[in-house]
């Protein structure tokens, strides 16, 4: 699904010397590489504060801790996402409220959010799923009306633009009250282990978060709040510093590959290709930076998705089903309050979606081979 080795070969010198530098200076934790990376990412995103953390799941949890959410507070998020999003809500004894998604963008359905709001609702967690920004104009408007926090789960969307109705442009993760991201190796900006970060423009929240990631300490050995130990280590920061200057090129390369896939699938009735953003007038993925294609995900209709997975695997083509089970049906997150008729889209998508290989080293020959095998199968 990804070619991390191929990508490494192209930046080997820079990465190797950065890693060696950390080892030689032995500044393994909170070294200068971490601080430099933090500043460089703040500049790139146009956000006032980046707080690095150990991984993207922690980042989301710490964001919620920093907002002071309390047990019993309701947090609305999408039924169709990676489990980490709902896991941290439950772990903090907040009440997850899962809602359906939009069938075109795969992102949280704004009408479903409106329906789910109660007096106990405190926050909304939109996920920029597969690299396409959620409908942030609407989500921010709902949040303002009901006095809710918006926590962007930007693990899959780093580098994507969001263009508001008024034409203004921001990076995903720089729009809500706070955001989290992941530097898991296969993410669009991946390190060589675990890593994550929290972003915010709020000075007071940033201060609070910096203490929470470090055992609740604002002054050495003074523990003012219950915190966690969640740090990005210096070696990972060094890798990320070597890769950040390439992020826009990496995302553009993904968009070009996505465009090629979609052109190859034109006119095939059994395949629905990924949609572009709702606000951009562009017709081409490579003209619009609103989808950074963490995943290139098709809907297969009128053909057997699971048999297609098997067919591709038999032809040595990796593929993935993200995600095969709606979160509201997972054992850990089942709840009597949920009604199946409120999840018609997610219940359908889990049967239809398939993600094809997507990374920075895909070449035309590979895309031609993959698309041919997919089309041969659905036309069979």
Ligand X SMILES: *Cc1c(COP(=O)(O)O)cnc(C)c1O
- Find where tokens 């950040």 sit: 244
Which of 38, 182, 236, 360 binds ligand X (CB under 6 A)? It is 182
The footprint of ligand X on residues 335-374 (CB under 6 A) is none
Q: With binding defined as CB under 6 A, does residue 107 bind ligand X? A: no
Q: With binding defined as CB under 6 A, does residue 82 bind ligand X? A: yes
- Find where tokens 């200068």 sit: 32
Which of 79, 153, 161, 233 binds ligand X (CB under 6 A)? It is 153
Q: How far is the CB of 349 from ligand X (least distance, A)?
A: 15
Q: Which of 322/343 has CB closer to ligand X? A: 322
Q: How far is the CB of 334 from ligand X (least distance, A)?
A: 20
326 contacts 343 by C-beta, under 8 angstroms: yes
Distance of CA 301 to the CA centre of its chain: 26
Q: With binding defined as CB under 6 A, does residue 173 bind ligand X? A: no
Q: Which of 149/377 has CB closer to ligand X? A: 149
Q: How far is the CB of 192 from ligand X (least distance, A)?
A: 13
CB atoms within 10 A of CB 80: 28
268 contacts 379 by C-beta, under 8 angstroms: yes
Contacts of residue 237, defined as CB under 8 A and 6 or more positions apart, other chains included, come to 31, 33, 34, 36, 37, 52, 191, 195
- Tally helices (H) and strands (E) across the chain: 12, 14
Q: With binding defined as CB under 6 A, does residue 81 bind ligand X? A: yes
Minimal CB distance residue for ligand X: 56
**Cis ω for the linkage preceding 6 (within 30 of 0):** no
Binding mask 295-324 for ligand X (x = CB under 6 A): ------------------------------
Residue 329 DSSP label: G
Which of 38, 57, 230, 236 binds ligand X (CB under 6 A)? It is 57
Q: With binding defined as CB under 6 A, does residue 8 bind ligand X? A: no
For the chain, state the CA radius of gyration.
21
Dihedral (CA of 29, 50, 81, 236) sign: negative
Q: With binding defined as CB under 6 A, does residue 196 bind ligand X? A: yes
Q: How far is the CB of 264 from ligand X (least distance, A)?
A: 26
- Among 351, 372, 369, which Cα is nearest to 304's? 351
The footprint of ligand X on residues 83-102 (CB under 6 A) is 84-85
Binding site for ligand X (CB under 6 A): 55-57, 81-82, 84-85, 127, 153, 155-156, 182, 184, 194, 196
């Amino acid at each position: 699904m990804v070619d991390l080795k191929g990508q490494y070969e192209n930046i080997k010198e820079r990465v190797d010397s950065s890693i060696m530098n950390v080892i030689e200076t032995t500044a393994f934790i909170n070294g200068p590489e971490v601080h430099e990376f933090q500043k460089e990412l703040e500049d790139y995103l146009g956000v006032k504060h980046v707080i690095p953390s150990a991984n993207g799941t922690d980042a989301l949890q710490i964001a919620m801790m920093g907002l002071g959410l309390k047990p019993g507070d309701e947090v609305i998020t999408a039924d169709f996402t990676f489990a980490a999003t709902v896991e941290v809500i439950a772990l903090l004894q907040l009440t997850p409220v899962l809602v359906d998604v939009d069938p075109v963008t795969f992102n949280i359905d704004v009408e479903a959010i409106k329906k789910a709001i109660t007096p106990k609702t405190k926050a909304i967690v939109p996920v920029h799923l597969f690299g396409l920004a959620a409908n942030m104009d609407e989500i921010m408007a709902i949040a303002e009306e009901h006095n809710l926090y918006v926590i962007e789960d930007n693990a899959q969307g780093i580098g994507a633009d969001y263009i508001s109705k008024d034409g203004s442009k921001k990076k995903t993760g720089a729009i809500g009250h706070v955001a989290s991201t992941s530097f898991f190796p296969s993410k669009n900006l991946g390190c060589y282990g675990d890593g994550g970060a929290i972003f915010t423009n709020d000075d007071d929240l940033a201060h609070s978060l910096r203490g929470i990631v470090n055992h609740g300490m604002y002054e050495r050995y003074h523990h003012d709040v219950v915190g966690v130990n969640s740090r990005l280590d210096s070696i990972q920061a060094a890798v990320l510093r070597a890769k950040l200057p390439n992020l826009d090129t990496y995302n553009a390369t993904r968009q070009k590959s996505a465009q090629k896939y979609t052109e190859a699938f034109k006119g095939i009735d059994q395949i629905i290709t990924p949609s572009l953003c709702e606000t951009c007038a562009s017709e081409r993925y490579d003209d619009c930076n609103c989808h950074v294609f963490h995943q290139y995900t098709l809907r297969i209709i009128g053909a057997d998705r699971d048999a297609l997975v098997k067919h591709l695997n038999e032809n040595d083509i990796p593929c993935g089903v993200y995600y095969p089970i709606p979160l509201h049906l997972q054992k850990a997150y089942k709840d009597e309050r949920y009604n199946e008729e409120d999840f018609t889209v997610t219940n359908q998508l889990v049967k239809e979606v398939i993600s094809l290989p997507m990374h920075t080293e895909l070449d035309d020959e590979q895309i031609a081979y993959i698309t041919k095998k997919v089309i041969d199968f659905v036309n069979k």
